Amino acid sequence: MTFQLIKLAVLSLASLAVAADKPIFGLGYNAKHSNGQCPDLNKVIDDFNTMLTVTDRIRTFGINDCNQGELIVQASQATGMKVSLGIFINQYDQEFNSEFEKLKDLTYRYRDTFNKNVESVIVGSEAIYRKEITNDALAQKVYSVKGFLRDTGIASKVTAADIKDNWYPSPLLDAVDLMFVNAYPYWEGVPIKSGVDHLWSKIGEVMARTGGKRFVLGETGWPQGGKNFGDAYPSQENQIFFFEQFLCSVKKAPVPLEYYWFSAFDEAWKGTEADMKWGIFDENRSLKPGYKFPVDCSKY
């Protein structure tokens, strides 16, 4: 990182604290298993216990699909895993309304778990990027969720997740409690050797424009399989290289960075190779070959 980026990190992240006993700050998680089958609670708890070997935080992407919201809250209650709970949204208001109603139901029935373990609620992930909603319309949905949680005494912060450029102009930034910004050097066609430096340059650009809001790197990662994207090549070697170099860059930063690595598990149910092979654990819930903890940072 340049000196300017280090200064930005100090200004933006000075109040953060990261658990020192886990090698990864957080993981992206979908509860579906390899064939797309919906899991039962025991399988979700098993997944949580697997993830707890490397992290104590996850972020999720929807509530209603496979009843994931309730299963994730229950598994959090059972294991102590901290959760940033995602609400799925698209261009249809009925999708948001259905997810929001289920969120309300969960807060009524699991109030203590929300206040203890659900650190934030994420209203949509890359919905602006997919051109399904505008910045202003998403801000209004954030205000609706935040108003409900505050009125019912739920302490969870409220945010949305999207790429850097879609946070501006400011209605969405004004609405959220914190920023979840997704950044993937792979999808920008960046060569693997430049990936982490490129990522930090994006982080620095956002940190200069947070408006005092807390910054979280909502997603980053590198795929093991799929097609080349520009000068970015997917492979097991490149996935591990980007993972290790990124973790080492976080460790060397002057203060902690909150981030969620995408993803916990390979997701064969997605059907396309480019989307299936992002996990540090394979679809059988085993740590992939080549991943070692703690990461040896002497080579980076």
CA–CA separation, 7 and 260 (whole Å): 22
CATH topology classification for 27-281: TIM Barrel (3.20.20)
- Would you say residue 9 has pLDDT above 60? no
Q: Per-residue b/e over 124-134, b at no fewer than 16 CB within 10 Å?
A: bbbbbeeebbe
Once rounded to an integer, what is the mean pLDDT over residues 244-269? 94
For the chain, the average pLDDT equals 93
- Would you say residue 231 has pLDDT above 60? yes
- Would you say residue 219 has pLDDT above 90? yes
- The pLDDT score that the predictor gives to residue 21 is 84
- Would you say residue 19 has pLDDT above 70? no
| Domain locations in the chain as residue ranges | 27-281
Lowest mean pLDDT among 11-15, 27-31, 197-201: 11-15
